[in-house]
Structure 1
């Protein structure tokens, strides 16, 4: 027999407890699967072990019905057994499928399961199945595991494009009910990119960034702290900084992250970004050289933006900002002196909380670093 092409083989997501996949049985035993959910846990053995035996016994005895009940009634009972059993089994299976598909997150969960299956199949086609087994295909894949790790450890406070990283809302218990939670920290989708930094610098108090920190212990000092004061003083119609200034310094800082899709900066952008970051040769909205008292190097250190290396100490160090090493160090110990120091309100994630393996997957996912088809590179 000729080998089937990968596209002809229908694969489900790997049966792996590390990914959110609901294993479903074949159609002919679906009713047993559903019955398990309909009975108390202590009756599971009765449903899964005893009931199938009873059903087989009833079917096995069908030929003897006529001998015991006579030809007429024996045939009627046999028909009732066949038709009635088929209707009951079909009804239970249909009810279970209907209930599953009516669940609020069914479409999202199912689409993710299909995506996991496709991803595992593609990884296997590119790299083969590793010696550790097929489960390791997704377990070592940042694209697959990153969102799950984010949801588990970061999604308590942060969002990713408005959700927990996996597409689900962040939930919390309120008055005994599960409700959509209000984020308590910044949305990290696109973290350390030019776009993300530009939006942040334009409005740090936005709900996307510091807006909800007021409800967090110690968060009010950040919400109404130095960055918010800086934006109020220097950004906007009355501020000395133009949007082009903000975009230039954001691009300069984003360059530290060295994201895969980051494009080289023009000489003009670098020059403008450095002037905002260091205050050297800064030009106001009219194009004249002016004193700029809100330059970044007063608080942040970053060699690429501060030729005189004046700054640092009062706010996070921007050398390597958003890079793999910077993110790894920051997540491990956000209260370190080079980050938030005594102002820190974020919990640290030691290896006992977040393994080196999971942290590596999380950081790579946040930076968009995973194996891709050539068409996506």
Structure 2
């Protein structure tokens, strides 16, 4: 019996040993996680976009502001940068609770081409403070061949492209884009004399105070989707000029795709939102005559638990006629979308796109493709 008890004791000891080792192994990690806590500094922003920078503009500065949220005195002990293209200045005084400081990053644009994102790590005297900041932007090198770099010429200005593509513009915040140009004339372009005839949703301004002859400049374009209050693809032609220079007017062609912004949805709420289901997303008309109208219908269904609202339906051609009987669908309700293609004057392989904008937050824009071969 004693031998059995001894054997059992040995077995228990060896069985519990791995468990003890595991506890000892994970305990330091768990203790570290408990001690680190949340962030101890409040940064106004931790990612700063310098926008588009021309190489000849020289050093560019970005300012990060922070506040001390701890009862203890705080000061920065070290700032680390991933490359030598940045230099750092920062508040070296000790900060009490609620006091603020600044960290100024100077960036050399000759060190990067096109998009850049530079990491800056800030260390403090208090345990656990090691914050990451990012300085971003687009650096444009000076071209070796001016005429080749700016082939689109309007008056005395050279541009890289015929149209300014604003890309996707959402209604929750304005989209900002910088457009570079080259002053090929012999007149000084003064920011104070710059004028633009823009609609309410577009604002254009000259970035530099002066752009001298044979120098590059930047125009800042601000496109506000909320003010435009529409959805889909749009083109705008905006005249700009300098009032002190006769004949200086040029026309900027802007294109943009406007979308409604939907905030992220929790996984538990996915089934509660409106859901647009399209019965047929690709319609193949096969061979059709250019003298005959082609008609089809597509079923739209709301498979969600909230009312589905059709914000807009947009085709990519005036040859398409789209008829929708109503603009909203109750949960479980369906309707027929009527499509009519007028192929007159067309020949060969043809494809028409129909975009449906709705308040379905998971699929706010859906596409129907209509294909055909016109004889």
Query: When the two structures are superposed, what TM-score results if normalisation uses the length of structure 1?
Result: 0.21
In terms of fraction of residues, the more helix-rich structure is 1
Structure in which a larger fraction of residues adopt strand? 2
Compute the TM-score of the two structures, normalised by the length of structure 2.
0.21
